[in-house]
Structure 1
Amino acid sequence: MTLFLAIIPVLLLIVLMAFLKMSGDKSSVISLIVTMVIAFLGFHFSLGNLAFSFLYGALKAISPILIIILMAIFSYNVLLKTQKMETIKQQFSSISTDKSIQVLLLTWGFGGLLEAMAGFGTAVAIPAAILISLGFKPVFSAVVSLIANSVATAFGAIGTPVLVLAKETNLDVLNLSTNVVLQLSVLMFLVPLALLFLTDPKLKSLPKNVFLALLVGGVSLVSQYAAARYMGAESPAIIGSILSIIVIVLYGKLTSRKKDKKEKEPKISLKTKDIISAWSIYLLILALIIITSPLFPTLRGTLENNWVTRISLPINGSTVHYTISWLTHAGVLLFIGSFIGGLIQGATVKELFTVLWSTTKQLKKTFITVICLVGLSTIMDTAGMISVIATALATATGSLYPLFAPVIGCLGTFITGSDTSSNILFGKLQASVAGHINVSPDWLSAANTVGATGGKIISPQSIAIATSASSQQGKEGEILKSAIPYALVYVVITGIIVFIFS
């Protein structure tokens, strides 16, 4: 009965969004209320604990998630206001008119780099918005951005998920990082192939799609393995994404030249000044993220200890601490880069604040959705509901547990929306189960973060970000339904790899 009660919020959320096609904000409000009732009656969670757990969840939703979503969409809207998005569109077209290459470059390459640097939704919001401006359908743009935002998540935000996992389990970071790459190896080829196939499903395009997927996947695997094996968790996604971008651009240039010769299309010449101006927002954002990242520990340490907000909340008889370091906050960095970039592009201060206010109004339903979802996941965690589900799965599977280990990681991300949170919730569980079934704790712990990357595809929070970026609020169910098959296949493949090599 306890297990049945614990699983109701997850099932209810899926049914409301995917099958009843209810909007994200309504689905999340209903699911939150049901979760509170179950926690109070079924898990004897006091009203005080409920209130503080929801407040803690709401704070985590506002920062970093909602601030980052707001600023990511703001950066895109500034580009629309200054009309520099047209220059970016022309540039992508000049690299290649092939839509498959444009999608792969934006989602796997540029999106992977954004995930590696900042995480927390930027890799979904910005690529999806740019794809729509290039003429792709909104739902398609949202789905491919979600699928692409999977593999890179393992080492997102400068390796935070794996670093947290190592801390939670007291395991070696280099071993964990290497195991994560090995478990993701097959998906580094299959995810690009899926993106290419979704863009261009024609049978005659299959050889080209397979070749490009093998090329990009090979570069990603070799570079990420080397980085993980010898450098740790901070750099695999960064190096892999940068090299992928280079390979895709070179491939696009080479193939487009052949087409240009055949079609004799006139090329659009862009001045260097216009290109730098158009990309100034994203260049500034990336520069700020790199400068304030753990790659520069002294500067980051100084910034993290200034302009800090600390809030303490009593939950379950202990004190939970909530901290925001504003000077290294990804949302603040996005705002600074977007604002200065907007001024460079010719916008006035008044125009930029007008764009920010209109963006805030545009995202009001997203605010409700994300606050309710993170509040729901926090209540499920603090009330012990998530632990009940994970323990039941571990007990039921026995020696077959490695096959299902990624499912637990996937569940954690589906509920919390974060690979890092999933590792905090279930990292210790995976390591302890490994000891009972004579499997390497490094291998099973890595399986948690790998499964979590699959859960990222269908996380309601990620879907809320995607619908916001594509102005498709209310179509969360449609996007979830489209993404579920890919997430299921993703997790099944990781489960088989983990099981075979355990």
Structure 2
Amino acid sequence: MYQQVLDPVADSLGWSSLVAALPLAVLFVLLGGVRMRAWLASLIALAVSLAVAIWTYGMPAGQAFLAGTEGAAFGFYPILWIVINALWVYNITVTTGHFDVLRRSFAQVSDDKRLQAVLIAFSFGALLEALAGFGTPVAVTSVMLIALGFQPLKAAVLALTANTAPVAFGAMATPILTLGKVTGESSDTLGAMVGRQTPILALFVPLVLVFIVDGKRGFRETWPIALFCGAAFGVAQYVTANFISVPLADVVASLVSAAAVVLIVRLRPSAAPARPAPVAGGSADEPTPEFAARVEGGDSRAEVARAYAPYAIIIAVFVVCQIDQVKDLLDKATRTFSWPGLDLTSPSGKPLTLPTFNFNYLTTPGTQMLVAGLITMAVLGVGFGKALRAYWTTLVQLKWAIITVMAVLALAFVMNASGQTVTLGTWMAGAGGAFAVLSPILGWLGTAVTGSDTSSNSLFGALQVTAANKADLDTVLMAATNSSGGVLGKMVSPQNLAIAAAAVGLDGKEGDIFRRVVLWSLLFLAGMCLLSGLQSTGILGWMVP
């Protein structure tokens, strides 16, 4: 048995926190400073986390390595299982040509690349986040942007930046439901609180996207449409999360925001918009020849319907699987077991749930995405051989991302099992009333390490409630803020950087992407810290349900 220790360095929580942060510091310095390939940086950071766990925290080497193997397994299933199958469905549509039809359909809404970025990266990406999450929207929307003429680096940056406001309600609100389980709070109440934080973030994300595309001019010329889109998304997310259904918050918000963009484009003057000027990492290239070849002739309604069919199928499959009776039936296939060799207790001596591994064969979004892909094969008339080749193409495309994700999750589990993560969280929780301002940082940290808002909520949700009780803060506010702050760590997570780089063909350039998004991540985080602090006082306390 291994019992976690909070302050192994000189019996000081502060000094111990500095040592516990070493693996994360190494990871981000290697990515952003040295610009090392993500898979190599992740393996080195993993080695550092193992060294800290064994030689500083006194964790038995065998258990430290076993914790890493559990993390790697969790990285593959369910996380990579979701991404692989989602990209497989996408690759099927590419091989049949239906993805080109879908892109042309989006392009016909507007030929202004700034608005295309908002519609695809933000609205369509939010729909993919709602259905699958776990990196799927980043991978798919970045490729769509490339086809419309965006350079790979710019496409990846846009996709990552847009993948923020929808994340807390992603994969049918899995992060919120998980947060409810680990904190004991009602998931409906937590969802309502998150629905009073992330909609404010949604106001600003489309504005940032048009600025990334075309700088100050892009902001000046398109801010009304971008703001209208963000406002439509935010209002729909708030209303759905508070009064209709927490799992459906992103589905409704994404569709409403897309409709808002289409509506305002149709109503505005027909004069052609100014062509965005080439900016750093530019987006003023011409669309791919394959894409442009049929724009003038257009596609038939039947072709367009077939192009949208895979996404309609995905929505249908996921909605059916959310029906209580169906969900209960599928959940019977779930197998739960303790990871062999791991015996962990908290600093207080309570057994940890970390060694418990849930193998949910049928309820995981990855399997449901696989079923949607099989139905898509039938609808689009794709043979087994072609589908199998598309699956192999997907695995090759993600080979480095697979290593990165498994290494990062191994690192996260080693830090969690040894107590490094709890040390960092407990140190921050000692800030008293000021913790309301620091709370989003804890969520950001959890998502930045694990690449998942769900994992961040599992990691720090209970700690947020404990800190809230000690500081006489609202427990619902602090727990929800963990999830809202966590969405901002998504864009700098090595896991998502690797997926984005693999999707746009920039393997090894994860550091360059990281340097382009980290400032936006920190800027949004500062805003969320301010919002959380104000909501803990009488100024905005009325927003807490």
Structure 1 contact 176–446 (Cα < 8 Å) conserved: yes
Q: 1:209 aligns with which of 200, 219, 222?
A: 222
The CA distance in 2 between the partners of 1:334 and 1:176, in whole Å, is 27
1:439 is matched with which residue? 473
Letter of the 1:269 partner, please give it: G
> Which position in structure 1 is the counterpart of 2:494?
460
SS of corresponding position for 2:166: helix
Query: Which residue in the other structure is 1:297 paired with?
Result: 324
The answer as to 2:378 corresponding to 1:364 is no
Give the drift of 1:311. Answer: 4.0
1:221 aligns with 2:247: no
1:243 corresponds, among 247, 256, 266, to 256
Q: Distance in 2 between matches of 1:129 and 1:334?
A: 19
How far does the alpha carbon of each residue in 1:380-406 deviate from its partner, in whole angstroms, 9 at most, with x for none? 0011000101111222x3332211110
What is the one-letter code of the residue matched to 1:426? F
Shift of 1:235: 2.2
Displacement, 1:256? Answer: 7.9
- The answer as to whether partners of 1:119 and 1:156 remain within 8 angstroms in 2 is yes
> Alpha carbon RMSD of aligned pairs, Å?
2.0
Judged with a 3 Å threshold, the aligned counterparts in structure 2 of structure 1 residues 256 and 16 are, in CA distance, closer, same or farther, namely farther
Q: CA deviation at 1:257?
A: 4.5
Aligned to 2:40: 26
The question of 1:284 aligning with 2:280 is answered: no
Could you tell me which amino acid in structure 2 is paired with residue 71 of structure 1?
Answer: N
Kindly indicate whether residue 170 of structure 2 is the aligned counterpart of residue 181 of structure 1.
no
User: Is the CA contact (8 Å cut-off) linking 1:365 and 1:473 kept in structure 2?
Assistant: yes
Matched letter for residue 219 of structure 2 = L
Matching residue within 335, 338, 349 for 1:312:
338
2:282 is aligned with 1:269: no
Matches within 5 A, 1:6-405: 6-203=20-217, 205-255=218-268, 257-259=270-272, 268-293=297-322, 296-306=323-333, 308-313=334-339, 314-317=341-344, 320-395=355-430, 397-405=431-439
Deviations 1:469-499 (A, max 9, x none): 1121101101111110011001100001111
Structure 1 residue 177: Cα displacement = 2.1
Cα distance, 1:330–1:257 mapped onto 2, change above 3 Å: farther
Give the counterpart letter for 1:323 in structure 2: N
**Which residue identity does 1:468 align to in structure 2?**
A
The answer to whether the aligner puts 1:474 opposite 2:521 as a matched pair is: no
**Contact in 1 for aligned 2:26/2:45 (Cα 8 Å):** yes
**Residue 263 of structure 1: aligned partner:** none
Distance 1:434 1:354 in 2: 52
CA–CA separation in structure 2 for the residues paired with 1:341 and 1:217: 31
Q: Residues of 2 paired with 1:102 and 1:200: CA distance? A: 12
In structure 2, what residue type is equivalent to 1:170? G
Query: Equivalent residue of 1:54, what SS?
Result: helix
Measure the CA separation in 2 of the matches of 1:75 and 1:178. 33
What's the CA shift string for 1:328-351, capped at 9, x where partnerless? Answer: 332223233334424543432212
Partner AA of 2:82 in structure 1:
I
Q: Is the 8 A contact 2:188 2:246 kept in 1?
A: yes
Partners of 1:100 and 1:173 in 2: CA distance: 36
> Structure 1: any 5+ residue segments left out of the alignment?
261-265
Q: Which amino acid aligns with 1:441?
A: T
- Higher mean displacement: 69-78 or 45-54: 69-78
Deviation at 1:123, TM superposition (A): 1.6
For residues 11-68 of structure 1, give each alpha carbon's deviation from its aligned partner in whole angstroms, at most 9, with x where no partner exists: 0000111110100111111111111111111111112211321121111111111122
* 2:446 matched residue in structure 1: 412
2:282 maps to which residue? none
Distance 1:415 1:228 in 2: 27
Q: Distance in 1 between matches of 2:335 and 2:342?
A: 19
- Report the more deviating stretch, 451-460 or 309-318: 309-318
Which has the higher mean CA deviation after the structures are superposed, 14-23 or 309-318?
Answer: 309-318
Contact 1:96 1:102 in 2 (8 A): yes
Change in 2 beyond 3 A, CA 1:58/1:327: same
SS in 1 for 2:357: strand
- Larger displacement relative to structure 2 (275-284 or 423-432): 275-284
Deviates more, 1:153-162 or 1:177-186: 177-186
Matched residues in 2 for 1:232 and 1:96: separation?
A: 32
Native 8 Å contact 1:108 1:148 kept in 2 = yes
Give CA deviations for 1:206-236 in whole Å, capped at 9, x if unaligned.
3442212321222222222222222352222
Report if aligned partners of 1:57, 1:371 keep a CA contact under 8 Å in 2. Answer: yes
- Give the whole-Å Cα distance in 1 for the aligned partners of 2:222 and 2:524: 19
Q: Displacement, 1:7?
A: 0.4
TM-score of the aligned structures, taking structure 2 as reference length: 0.86
SS at match of 1:192: helix
CA-to-aligned-CA distance 1:225-283 (integer Å, 9 cap, x gap): 222222352222221111111112222334485439xxxxx954321211122223222
Distance in 1 between the 2:125 and 2:193 partners? 23
Of residues 318-327 and 178-187 in structure 1, the stretch that sits farther from structure 2 once superposed is 318-327
Residue 540 of structure 2 corresponds to which residue in structure 1?
A: none
- Residue identity opposite 2:81 in structure 1: I
Q: Shift of the alpha carbon at 1:186?
A: 2.8
Structure 1 residues 185 and 91: CA distance shift in structure 2, 3 A: closer
Residue ranges of structure 2 left out of the alignment (5+ in a row): 1-14, 274-294, 345-350, 537-545
> Of Structure 1 and Structure 2, which has the larger fraction of its residues in helix?
1
Separation (CA, whole Å) in 1 of partners of 2:498 and 2:239: 35
Give the Cα–Cα distance (whole angstroms) in 1 for the partners of residues 305 and 324 of structure 2. Answer: 29
The question of whether the paired residues in 1 share the 8 Å contact of 2:133 and 2:167 is answered with yes
Deviation at 1:324, TM superposition (A): 2.5
Distance in 2 separating the partners of 1:338 and 1:345? 10
In structure 1, the residue corresponding to 2:226 is in which secondary structure?
A: helix
Provide the C-alpha distance between the structure 2 equivalents of 1:174 and 1:355, rounded to a whole number of angstroms.
Answer: 39
Distance (whole Å) between structure 1 residues aligned to residue 240 and residue 68 of structure 2: 39
Question: Taking structure 1 as reference, are residues 310 and 441 closer, same or farther at Cα in structure 2, changes over 3 Å only?
Answer: closer
Q: CA deviation at 1:159?
A: 1.4
1:451-480: per-residue Cα shift (whole Å, max 9, x none)?
101111111111111112112110110111
| Residue equivalent to 1:5 | 19
Number of positions where the alignment pairs a residue of Structure 1 with one of Structure 2: 492
